[in-house]
Amino acid sequence: MASISSTTNLNIRIDTDLKKESDVLFKELGLNMTTAISMFLTKCVNTASIPFKIEKNKPNKDLIEVIKEGDQILEDLKSGKRKGYNNVYEMFKELDEDIENGRI
């Protein structure tokens, strides 16, 4: 561990809520933010790695369903099963016509 005379300041910006939640957790663990960050950095240096797995987020099942629905809409547009519009004005014009003619 570094001696007091060989320390330096580290300034970081983090989300306010993340800091509050971290402070609570570290206090429950008997640590403070400085000690927790020092432990993290020490582990990184000692193992020459990040001490946890880094991976991209996987979409949840709701997002997967929305993506599938979007893909189906695109397929329907390409096959002619679904009508598409070039802009929102075309869509509203047809909607107004449908309302005026009692189709909806």
Residue in the block written with tokens 């397929």: 75
DSSP classification of residue 5? G
Residue in the block written with tokens 């400085």: 34
Q: How far apart are CA 38 and CA 45, in angstroms?
A: 11
pTM of the model: 0.50
Res 66: pLDDT: 96
How do residues 46-71 score in pLDDT, each as one tens digit?
Answer: 999 999 998 888 889 999 999 999 99
Q: How confident is the model at residue 1 (pLDDT cuts 50, 70, 90)?
A: low
Percentage of the residues of the chain whose pLDDT score is greater than 90: 84
CB contact set of 32 (below 8 Å; sequence gap of 6+): 26
Q: How far apart are CA 74 and CA 70, in angstroms?
A: 6
Over range 25-36, report the average pLDDT.
96
3-class DSSP assignment, residue 89: helix
Over range 25-53, report the average pLDDT.
96
**Beta strand residue intervals within 1-104, DSSP E:** none
- In one letter, which amino acid is 79? S
DSSP classification of residue 87? S
What angle, rounded to 10 degrees, do the helices at 16-28 and 33-47 form?
Answer: 90
Q: How confident is the model at residue 95 (pLDDT cuts 50, 70, 90)?
A: very high
